Structure 1
Amino acid sequence: MPPSALSVTDLALSSGTGQLVHPLTFSIGAGECVALLGASGSGKSLTASALAGSLPEGITASGTISYPAGPVPGKAAFISQDPATALNPLVPVGKQLAIPLLAKGSNRAEATAEAARLLARAGIEDPDQVLPRYTGQLSGGQLQRVCIALALACGSSVLVADEPTTALDAVSQLNVLATLRAWGTGGRSLVFITHDLTAAAALCTRAIVMEAGRIVEQAPMAELFESPQHPYTRRLVQAAARAAQPLAAARTAAAA
């Protein structure tokens, strides 16, 4: 078994007297890509925020979250559904990427060169053209990849991505999924939060399924598709199968 990159024990989230997420216990191995699946309101996005240490105001947490492995223990990078919220619209992308690099001892020229390399690693074409741009000049898919480059710049060992493909067109979705797939190189780990089982299956090897603030099933992705145990998981699998039918038909027609 790989060493644990993220360990969660009895994590519970509440607002006032209402419990939104009931005690959760799970772990993510070093270099592992795991999907946290669930419909809107299942508690998956709140859980993602807790993992990244960015809970909304008014939400209280109990339990333990630890990052025992990786180059920067105790730290996770976070990509929200709206990546623009993680970036400063008044500062060029290159200067934002340079901040953590300068903090680690690089000079300005070294930081600029490394920022371009990180953008390229994150799937950005022509990174030298992107460095001087502002967030308002980039597409949603480009912003997601800039956030991934920023996570690389910070040296984070775990990336928590909350619905990173939801608002993107099909081509951008595929590009971002490919970039996230490459994240796991070098022992880095990914927690992919989504309601889209098809996207999760394309990226992750294991799934944690949430419903109404509780984990209802955990299984390898292939096993989840072949033999889902919980009624909610079975509905997810059936919905994914129905969604795949038109795509399969279109591919067949195109090949004819």
Structure 2
Amino acid sequence: MARSKPWDVDDELWALIEPLLQEVERRTRHPGRKRHPDRLVFQGILFVLHTGIAWEHLPQKLGFGSGMTCWRRLAEWTEAGVWPRLHQELLAKLRGANVLDFSRAAVDGSHIPSAKGGPKTGRSPVDRGRAGSKHHLITDATGIPLAVTLTGGNRNDVPQLIPLLEAVPPVRGKRGRPRRRPDIVLGDRGYDHDKYRRLVWALGVKPVIARRGTDHGSGLGTQRWVVERALAHLHWFRRLRIRWEIRDDIHEAFLTLGCALICWRRFVSLP
């Protein structure tokens, strides 16, 4: 049996995505060229996400449509808020399957170079001052991505701690109120600041953050490694290793879509 390509969309995944897309009615007068099928265009977007290929080099012989068609549809769906809703729906499925673990969360950040600049870029201290951006990620206790944010490469981790916690959507999947806050949040020394500890406590979350100047071996690494693994999985998508998009919302769309796909893989791997 031939193995499917990573950008192929099976019927089960498409059944989740299709209801989130806006139905565009064709004009009765001067209808113009027929709209390319959404499913094929979405596969073209996944092809770019997985391979990192430039939009203009997207191979039309695969049936995805032109690179410009895929880019425009990505911008259209991003403006409609499709990707956060898809991610939230998949988180609810994982919670309903008793996979999502809110007993603790872990946060971390990772620098990436920015090829063309744009909003939410800055001089990266880890890349000789070149323009870059930073991915900030929060995961549950098992490494499932809960939320991701984008900042300039010159931004510190600690100011993103509260935005990350607030970016976690209300997750349904079980009876009762949706779950949104973890019980504990784990962070490395980059998040060591008493002001932000107090802000985390104010959200009803216990901060467990390593302090600067103390010896290594606090034991947090045995629990925090899941967020580092999740960042590695996120950067397995080649389009997320370097920021090629000048528009920050398009790069954030790829980020959220990457998180959703990681959740989907976790869901379909359940016994």
Shorter-chain TM range is under 0.3
Computing the radius of gyration from Cα coordinates, the structure with the larger value is 2
TM-score (norm 1): 0.25
Q: If each structure's strand is expressed as a fraction of its own residues, which one has the higher value?
A: 1
